[in-house]
Amino acid sequence: MNAPPDKTTFTVHEAKTHLSRLIAAALEGKEIVIARGKEPVVKLVPVEKKPPRVPGAWKGRFTVPDDAFAPLTEEELALWEDSEIFPDESPAR
């Protein structure tokens, strides 16, 4: 596709025909717009890459209290069972 460098809008047919080249242009930072007829409908942009996750990155930033997994007290349990979070469900007893 030898499109002029200032051309940024392509028809759906042109986009299908030259998709690989349009993707390469978008990755280079060029704005690529795809139109139906003369109406622009979508913009082709690169997907933002997230940095890889690093195991242990949160180590030492917070602590879990010793009682975090302790059973609920009767009062706490009653608050959950009487809440309106799930009003259509009756508590299983």
Q: Is residue 89 part of a domain?
A: no
Determine phi and psi for 39, rounding to 5 degrees: -95, 115
Tell me whether residue 52 is in a domain: no
Residue 42's DSSP bridge partners are 34
Domain assignment of residue 16, given as a range: 9-44
Q: Are strands 9-11 and 39-44 parallel, antiparallel or unpaired?
A: unpaired
Number of structural domains found in the chain: 1
* pLDDT for the residue 81: 82
State yes or no: pLDDT of 21 exceeds 50: yes
Mean pLDDT of the region 71-86: 82
Query: Would 78 be classed as within a structural domain?
Result: no
pLDDT 10s digits, 26-72: 999 999 999 999 999 999 999 998 999 999 988 899 888 999 999 98
What mean pLDDT comes out for the span 71-85? 83
